[in-house]
Amino acid sequence: MNIPLLGVNIDHVATLRQARGTDYPSVLEAARIAEDHGADLITVHLREDRRHIQDRDVTELIAQARTRVNLEMACTAEMLAIALSHRPADVCLVPERRAELTTEGGLDVAGQRALIEPFCRQLEAAGIRVSLFIDPELDQIQAAHECRAPVIELHTGAYANAVDDQRQHELQRLATAATAAESAGLVVNAGHGLNVSNVGPVAAIKPIREFNIGHSIIARALFIGLGAAVAEMKRCLTSRPVA
């Protein structure tokens, strides 16, 4: 049986805290509530500009999470040093531009293999499972495989933003990419822009093992509470037809 896992991204709990420079809402408490309501892992993105998650959040989460922590980070020397000293279970390498509102596209692994491959090697040597966040394109999957990254995360943003026929086209791209990556021996995850209304068709793509979802869960939590929002998303994932 292949039930997808839910990684709850709690960056935006920290966004709310940083907006006022208070010590609440607590990301640790958010992680605990998410775990109590079905999160299989906790995901955070330590951005270079520290706009939401702070270094101490990463330290505390890794020490206290009951599940596992997936640290999203850019390919920089600073982030590599942080990952190697904190040793989260997983690191997802993402592209990062300072002015962007969120991670806008996937990593160009095919074009930046010389940069990315050494990151994969060093993280792997520290016992950290590396995932590369890529667009659903075959050349990027091939490049990820060549870098010997064990995991990819498919960027679902284009699917989430698409309308009408384009959405079906983007869904097909995700399905094709997921199947190709699984055949190449890669673990396939997915995320970005997913919510309770659009996640169903992506959750039905069998090779996708894990979903990392943040903004929509935290937004929904404002009205129904974080525990209920996590549980609701978990139900959307676990109701996919079993293979």
- Choose the stretch contacting ligand PXP; rule: CB under 6 A; options: 32-40, 179-187, 190-198, 229-237: 190-198
Q: For 177, which DSSP code? A: H
| 133 touches 95 (CB < 8 A) | yes
- Is 170 noted as a catalytic residue in this protein? no
The set of residues, in sequence order, having a beta carbon less than 8 Å from that of 102 and lying 6+ positions away, is 192, 215
- Residue written as tokens 């592209």? 95
Q: Choose which of 57, 72, 137, 182 interacts with ligand PXP (CB under 6 A).
A: 72
CA distance 54 to 50: 6
- Choose the stretch contacting ligand PXP; rule: CB under 6 A; options: 60-68, 83-91, 114-122, 213-221: 213-221
- Is 169 noted as a catalytic residue in this protein? no
Q: Choose which of 5, 57, 86, 103 interacts with ligand PXP (CB under 6 A).
A: 103
Max CA distance (Å), the chain: 47
CB closer to ligand PXP out of 141 and 194? 194
Token readout for 116 is 């990315």
**What are the residue numbers of the active site?**
45, 72, 192
Footprint on this chain of ligand PXP (rule: CB under 6 A): 9, 11, 45, 72, 92, 94, 102-103, 133, 153, 191-194, 212-216
